């Protein structure tokens, strides 16, 4: 594994896990209860705390905003009959949300790190995920965090390839899907 990943592997995995709570077969954060379980599983929420509907809505804003950022780290989307898989308002909503989730530089830790200001447990957890973005940028790993180029997928993945050129979450699934479509187009235009 490249040394640059090292200490931030857990951070990268957390971002990928969070973005991939929306799957082709449904939304893993469809209810406040599901968000609560996800946050507990990832040790981001005190055991006694629970998410409510507002917290769940903010979590979805954060997730779709992160997906939009990861899509920008990838190549242009392919031409596809499927919907884009990105929420057009996601970037704006993420901007609004990040203004409501302030982070502070904790200079008592070595090295200094961003920590959430909010005492509200779910906002605190979501701010940790925002801080993960800054951690990844600082580690130089951010450009390799991508959302799949296939519009019907938009699954998040970390590009471990040597040339940083990976564009599909899985060549076997989305890469092949695109190849099949291209072959169909060639047949119909012949």
Q: Which parts of this chain interact with Zn ion (CB under 5 A)?
A: 148, 150, 153, 155, 169, 174
Minimum distance from CB of 85 to Zn ion (Å)?
Answer: 9
Structure tokens at 32: 């406040």
**Residue 163, CA atoms < 13 Å, CB-side half-sphere:** 3
Beta bridge partners of 146: 157
First to last CA, the chain: 46
**Which is closer to Zn ion, CB of 38 or CB of 155?**
155
Minimum distance from CB of 175 to Zn ion (Å)?
Answer: 8
Minimum distance from CB of 1 to Zn ion (Å)?
Answer: 23
**Which is closer to Zn ion, CB of 8 or CB of 167?**
167
CB of 36 closer than 8 Å to CB of 50: yes
- Tell me how crowded residue 172 is: count the other CB atoms within 10 A of its CB: 9
Minimum distance from CB of 38 to Zn ion (Å)?
Answer: 21
Distances (CA, A) of 31 to 37, 45, 65, 132: 10, 16, 19, 24
**Which is closer to Zn ion, CB of 56 or CB of 166?**
166
Structure tokens at 71: 């899509």
**Which is closer to Zn ion, CB of 5 or CB of 173?**
173
């Amino acid at each position: 594994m490249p040394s640059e990943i090292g200490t931030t592997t857990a951070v990268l995995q957390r971002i990928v896990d969070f973005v991939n709570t929306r799957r082709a077969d449904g939304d893993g954060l469809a209810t406040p209860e599901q968000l609560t379980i996800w946050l507990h599983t990832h040790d981001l929420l005190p055991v006694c705390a629970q998410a409510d509907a507002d917290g769940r809505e903010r979590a979805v804003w954060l997730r779709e905003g992160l997906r939009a950022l990861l899509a920008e780290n990838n190549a242009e989307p392919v031409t596809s009959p499927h919907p884009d898989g990105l929420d057009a308002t996601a970037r704006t909503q993420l901007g609004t949300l990040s203004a409501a989730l302030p982070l502070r530089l904790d200079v008592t830790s070595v090295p200094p790190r961003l920590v959430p200001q909010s005492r509200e447990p779910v906002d605190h957890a979501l701010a940790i995920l925002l801080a993960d973005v800054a951690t990844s940028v600082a580690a130089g790993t951010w450009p390799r965090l991508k959302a799949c180029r296939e519009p019907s997928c938009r699954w998040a993945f970390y590009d471990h390839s040597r040339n940083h050129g990976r564009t599909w979450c899985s060549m076997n699934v989305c890469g092949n899907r695109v190849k099949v479509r291209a072959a169909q187009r060639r047949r119909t235009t012949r």
